[in-house]
Amino acid sequence: MTTPKSALIIGASRGLGLGLVRELLGRGWDVTATVRDAAHPGDLAGLPVRVEALLLDDIHSQDRLAETLAGARFDLVFINAGIYGPAHQSAIDANLADIGQLFMVNAVAPLRLAERLLPRIDGERGVLAFMTSELGSVAGNESGGMALYRASKAALNSLTRSFVGELGETGLTVLNLHPGWVRTDMGGEAAPLDVPTSVKGLADQVEGHAGRGGQFYLDYQGTTIDW
Ligand SMILES: NC(=O)c1ccc[n+]([C@@H]2O[C@H](COP(=O)([O-])OP(=O)(O)OC[C@H]3O[C@@H](n4cnc5c(N)ncnc54)[C@H](OP(=O)(O)O)[C@@H]3O)[C@@H](O)[C@H]2O)c1
């Protein structure tokens, strides 16, 4: 018997995070998953997972999670949680609170959390995955639209590049993953993809890239995206 692989999924109350938990459990992984309040795990309550609390926009919550998981070892840490930001998506109409929240949750907090959890990830075959978006590609932005959300994911991509650039010698693989346009609360009902299709592809990318080392910006089907 081989030891099951272990994953930590950040932001698993619903949508893609919850789907990832289900997909990895189906593949025989041990899963730890976070929600804002561990006393209210929602749909995770019925699943065989360890549930921990994590509020991305609270540095104390991040520090508490890192301390709680001090003895743990993960093959995968997947930082999935994210928000869309203000509906107007306009830099002209944005206020400091909206922008602070959007860039903290989508870009700065994921990196801070990654720094705190890095010692918990297997240094040879481990994978650190960030849920970004193809909209975070600066090179691919030829149409505009969803400007603030795009900018927050571009900031996430940039911060992850700096993080990887400063890592030094390691076998760690860092994935910046685009899930496709998916029917979730964020993606809306018009999205062409369902959650199971997207998360199956995402899990395939994680399993297929483990051990390669380096950083990859990919969609759920493994297609490379220009930064
Ligand atoms: N759906 C798409 O088409 C699509 C496309 C590209 C990229 N993405 C990215 O995929 C990720 C998941 O999106 P989704 O479609 O599954 O969205 P979703 O259904 O809106 O779920 C968002 C998840 O993030 C959590 N979250 C949000 N803010 C948080 C915070 N401050 N602290 C802790 N958890 C927080 C939510 O927890 P609560 O339930 O507690 O709010 C929820 O679990 C996001 O990063 C999103 O940007 C989605």
Average pLDDT over residues 33-59: 95
What domains does the chain contain, in order, with CATH numbers? 6-219 (3.40.50.720)
| Mean pLDDT for all residues in the chain | 96
CA–CA distance, 52 with 11 (Å, rounded to integer): 10
Query: In sequence order, what are the residues at sequence separation of 6 or more whose Cβ sits closer than 8 angstroms to the Cβ of residue 169?
Result: none
Q: Is the pLDDT of residue 168 over 90?
A: no
CA 169–ligand 1 middle distance (angstroms):
32
pLDDT above 80: residue 1: no
59, 105 in Cβ contact below 8 A? no
pLDDT band with cut points at 50, 70 and 90 for residue 37: very high
Q: Is 14 a pocket residue for ligand 1 (Cβ < 6 Å)?
A: yes
Determine the pLDDT at residue 138.
Answer: 97
**Exposure of 92 in the CB half-sphere (CA atoms within 13 A):** 0
84 CB under 6 A from ligand 1?
A: no
- Identify the three-state secondary structure at position 61: helix
Mean pLDDT of 147-156: 98
Ordered DSSP codes for 22-58: HHHHHTT-EEEEEES-TT--GGGGGSS-EEEE--TT-
In this predicted model, which residue has the larger pLDDT, 168 or 209?
209
Query: How far, in Å, CA of 67 to CA of 198, rounded?
Result: 32
- Give the pLDDT of residue 42: 92
Q: Is the pLDDT score of 13 beyond 80?
A: yes
Query: From the CA of 226, how far away is ligand 1's center (Å)?
Result: 23
- Amino acid 2: pLDDT: 81
Does the pTM surpass 0.95? The reply is: yes
Residues linked to residue 114 through DSSP beta bridges, in sequence order: none
pLDDT above 90 covers a percentage of the chain that reads 95
- Region 128-132: mean pLDDT is 98
Whether 169 shows a pLDDT value over 90: the answer reads no
CB proximity list for 116: less than 8 A, separation 6 or greater: 62, 63, 65, 66
- Ligand 1 binding pocket includes 58 (Cβ within 6 Å): no
CA 133 to chain CA centroid, nearest Å: 10
Closest CA to 16 of 165, 159, 202: 202
Lowest-confidence region among 13-17, 59-63, 205-209: 59-63
